[in-house]
């Protein structure tokens, strides 16, 4: 298999080929994901919670992200490697350029940025400087203090309309993909329908162009079990088998099922 490229995400959407993504934080898991044939690996700042044991993603630094991105890159050949800009590393275009450059030099092929509004200028700035950006809307965990918790977003008509406008705006600013986290299925479907770039959902229903899960959730680790999570370890029989079962379920449109989504 040839390495997955940024432009390929758009083509996969156009072809109706589901994009299968998972998070990873080290080379060992990256090798299993490589073997299972997934499309995208995200070094998420969720590492603050699932690896470092913090209560939120806010303590994660650019150093942390660069370290884990380099670890994952050593175990990966084919999937597109995406890395999160951590809390406030994207607060200004200049800071974002420094942080994103470090992540690309550590092996990432794309960086992910939460939010729209002031982040639109940051997205544009990076894209103009040859740094591919994936946007992230809906439940943006770096907004947890303002949101007051991890809740479904875009439920009311006005909030849904704002989210749709933000989705158009990040695409207009040059984002090459969009993660939608914890939004009602019809809203994610509407956004997916009106954008040419791929949407990758987590808790956003089955109509997104792709799906992403946190590694630990996919393997049934951890006490917290949000509705959108499925443990694929039982079905897969091994770590590699769990990744393969997840990929097969996404490509076969059996995951997420209605029980894993918000309506
Ligand atoms: O940090 C992360 O793992 C993420 C995914 C949940 C999309 O941003
Ligand atoms: Na993240």
Residue 201 lies in a domain: yes
Task: Give the whole-angstrom CA distance, residue 56 versus residue 62.
Answer: 16
Residue 155 lies in a domain: yes
Residue 222 lies in a domain: yes
Residue 96 lies in a domain: yes
β-bridge pairing 40-43 and 80-84: parallel
Question: Which ligand is located closest to the Cα atom of residue 213?
Answer: 1
Torsion, CA 142, CA 49, CA 151, CA 210, rounded to 10: 90
**Position 223 confidence tier, pLDDT thresholds 50, 70, 90:** confident
Residue 207 lies in a domain: yes
Task: Give the whole-angstrom CA distance, residue 57 versus residue 154.
Answer: 22
Q: What is the CATH number of the domain that holds 106?
A: 3.20.20.60
Annotation-wise, does 39 bind a ligand? Answer: no
CA of 44 to the centre of ligand 2 (A): 4
| 27-66 residue pLDDT tens | 999 999 999 999 999 999 999 999 999 999 999 999 999 9
The ligand 1 atom at the shortest distance from the C-alpha of residue 46 is 1
| 181-194 residue pLDDT tens | 999 999 999 999 99
Mutate to test the pocket of ligand 1, among 64, 138, 202 (most ligand atoms within 8 A of CB): 202
Task: Give the whole-angstrom CA distance, residue 125 versus residue 14.
Answer: 27
Residue 35 lies in a domain: yes
**Position 225 confidence tier, pLDDT thresholds 50, 70, 90:** confident
Full-model pTM: 0.98
**Position 69 confidence tier, pLDDT thresholds 50, 70, 90:** very high
Number of domain units in the chain: 1
User: What element of type H or E holds 177?
Assistant: strand 177-181
The residue segments making up the domain with residue 61 are: 6-260
Q: Residue 222: what pLDDT?
A: 85
**What amino acid positions are annotated as catalytic residues?**
181
Residue 105 lies in a domain: yes
Residue 203 lies in a domain: yes
Ion ligand 2, residues whose Cβ is below 5 A away = 44-45, 84
Annotation-wise, does 15 bind a ligand? Answer: no
């Amino acid at each position: 298999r040839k390495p997955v490229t940024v432009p390929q995400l758009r083509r996969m959407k156009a072809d109706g080929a589901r994009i299968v993504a998972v998070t990873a934080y080290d080379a060992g898991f990256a090798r299993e994901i490589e073997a299972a044939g997934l499309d995208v690996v995200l070094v998420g700042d969720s590492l603050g919670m699932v690896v470092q044991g913090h209560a939120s993603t806010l303590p994660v630094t650019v150093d942390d992200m660069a370290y884990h991105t380099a670890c994952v890159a050593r175990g990966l050949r084919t999937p597109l490697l995406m890395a999160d800009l951590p809390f406030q590393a994207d607060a200004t275009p200049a800071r974002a350029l420094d942080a994103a450059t470090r992540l690309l030099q550590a092996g990432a092929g794309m960086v992910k940025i939460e939010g729209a509004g002031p982040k639109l200028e940051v997205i544009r700035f990076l894209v103009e400087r040859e740094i591919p950006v994936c946007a992230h809307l809906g439940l943006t965990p770096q907004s947890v203090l303002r949101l007051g918790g991890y809740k479904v977003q875009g439920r009311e008509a006005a909030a849904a309309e704002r989210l749709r406008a933000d989705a158009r705006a990040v695409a207009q600013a040059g984002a090459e993909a969009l993660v939608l986290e914890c939004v009602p299925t019809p809203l994610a479907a509407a956004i997916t329908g009106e954008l040419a770039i791929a949407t990758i959902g987590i808790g956003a229903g089955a109509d997104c162009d792709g799906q992403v899960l946190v590694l630990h959730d996919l393997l049934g680790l951890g006490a917290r079990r949000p509705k959108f999570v499925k443990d694929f370890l039982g079905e897969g029989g091994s770590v590699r088998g769990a990744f393969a079962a997840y990929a097969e379920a996404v490509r076969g449109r059996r995951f997420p099922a209605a029980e894993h989504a918000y309506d």
